[in-house]
Amino acid sequence: MARVTEPSVVADPKVIAGLDAYQALPAAQQPTWYSQEALELSRKELSVLPPLVFAGEVDRLRDRLAQAASGNAFLLQGGDCAETFADATADRIRNRVKTLLQMSVVLMYGSSLPVIKMGRMAGQFAKPRSNNDETRNGVTLPAYRGDAVNGYDFTAESRLNDPKRLVQAYHTSASTLNLVRAFTTGGFADLRSVHDWNKGFTDNPANARYESLAKEIDRAISFMESAGVNFDGLSSTEFYVSHEGLLFDYDRPLTRIDSRTGTPYVTSGHFIWIGERTRQLDGAHVDFLSRVRNPIGVKLGPTTQPQDVRDLIEKLDPEREPGRLTFITRMGAGKIREEMPKLVEAVKGTGANPLWITDPMHGNGITTKNGYKSRRFDDVMDEVRGFFEVHKAAGTFPGGIHIELTGDD
């Protein structure tokens, strides 16, 4: 009798053991949970909850990123610095998606390239911190590490590193992703709705510029519709989610073995990146993420050396697989033109073709007079320009942009 489904591939025990090899390595930026027992319960619960993303989607994203790495697509990755449980409302999620759709249409129109849309969303609930603790007026409490770990309010109760929050992060990610999938496949993302994405913020000069571009797109679409082109394919769009792979107690229990191939996928997001503070070659993050099939990003700050880049390629992309590895540079506007060329050159001759994208936010941080962490818009723009200049000079592709944004005015 013909088989209707493929048999499941049983995972090699060595693959599972390898996934846990990170436990013997130094792991930076991990919270000290208030209870080991509570942590075990949360990890157990996460390990049996359904995956948030699927292996087939992850594989498709890898193909898309391979296109961007060779200059045939552009990646737009953006979202909150850190998501919060309180902000996971329908309005706020819709506004963030809307902002990304608006930005992608401008990029598409300007570059005539497909734009891969990816949110820092549905999992971006943890942050690396410079210090483990924070002291205010003589009181010391654990630093806020994101809603997946503790609360923002400066009280002992709120700052408790509580593993139950890992499970809440999963459920909040699930409902965020559900809405994102509905918005991006249910007609909201239809290119014929470009005007609808621009409601509000009418006193912002960018609004008028966007409106005139939307009018041009409308005209082009009407012209092509009248010529018989079928635009039904434009009514939905692929949308991927990503987060920093920071907390092993979240990402490891959500790592599953794909029944088709017997290989592991982190199922808490399509794309996982390693932060500037956790990219040590012999550290736990690089080891763990070297063993999963997801496309992996690595942040590269201004102290990165050419040999670091070559070592990261060897460790994370030994097979030189198209779309596997993305370097996210965050040098700072004042340093990019000086520090980046040698990194781009270092890749030549390795046989790898990583995707290069720019994060013009994290190397340009300033603290405002009232204590807010911020960036100057001109610095952000200057780093983006520098990124394009360096690639142009090297003959390589500037393949995308990684930014922090909200859907607010």
Q: Which residues in this chain contact ligand PEP in the complex, by CB under 6 A?
A: 81, 128, 244, 275-277, 299, 330, 362
- C-alpha distances (whole Å) from 354 to each of 67, 113, 238, 398 are 11, 18, 22, 11
Alpha helices, DSSP H only, in 156-283?
164-185, 205-226, 248-251
Nearer to ligand PEP, 51 or 128 (CB): 128
Identify the CA nearest to 322 among candidates 117, 72, 115, 108.
72
Residue environment code for 259-273, b if the CB has 16+ CB neighbours within 10 A, otherwise e = eeeeebbbbbbbbbb
Collapsing DSSP states into helix, strand and coil, what is residue 72? coil
Q: Residue 16: name the closest of 255, 290, 225, 370 by CA.
A: 255
Nearer to ligand PEP, 276 or 339 (CB): 276
Q: Considering beta carbons, is residue 161 or 329 the nearer one to ligand PEP?
A: 329
- Of 79, 111, 113, which Cα lies nearest the Cα of 97? 79
Residue 342: alpha-carbon gap to chain centroid: 25
Looking at the Cβ atoms of 67 and 329, the one nearer to ligand PEP is: 329
Report in angstroms how near the CB of residue 301 gets to ligand PEP at its nearest. 6
Alpha-carbon torsion (312, 318, 320, 326), positive or negative: negative
Select 146 or 264, whichever has its Cβ closest to ligand PEP: 146
Q: How far is the CB of 8 from ligand PEP (least distance, A)?
A: 36
Question: Where do we find the tokens 């907390």?
Answer: 247
Phi-psi group of 262: left, alpha or beta (phi > 0 → left; psi -120 to 50 → alpha; rest → beta): left
366, 374 contact by CB (below 8 A)? yes
Displacement of CA 33 from its chain's centroid (Å): 25
**Nearest-approach distance from CB 246 to ligand PEP, in angstroms:** 9
The Cα–Cα gap between 41 and 62 comes to: 33
Least CB distance to ligand PEP at residue 310 (A): 20
- Report the residue number, 237 or 242, with the smaller CB distance to ligand PEP: 242
Which residue, 244 or 249, is less far from ligand PEP as judged by CB?
244
Question: What's the min distance (Å) between Cβ of 3 and ligand PEP?
Answer: 45
Residue nearer to ligand PEP on the CB measure, 256 or 362: 362
Provide, rounded to whole angstroms, the least separation between the CB of residue 299 and ligand PEP: 4
Q: For the chain, what's the residue count?
A: 409
Q: How far is the CB of 236 from ligand PEP (least distance, A)?
A: 28
- Three-state SS at 274: strand
Nearest-approach distance from CB 112 to ligand PEP, in angstroms: 29
- Residues 94, 119: contact at Cβ < 8 Å? no
Residue number of the CB closest to ligand PEP reads 275
CB of 84 to ligand PEP, least distance (A): 14
Pick the closer one to ligand PEP by CB: 145 or 299.
299
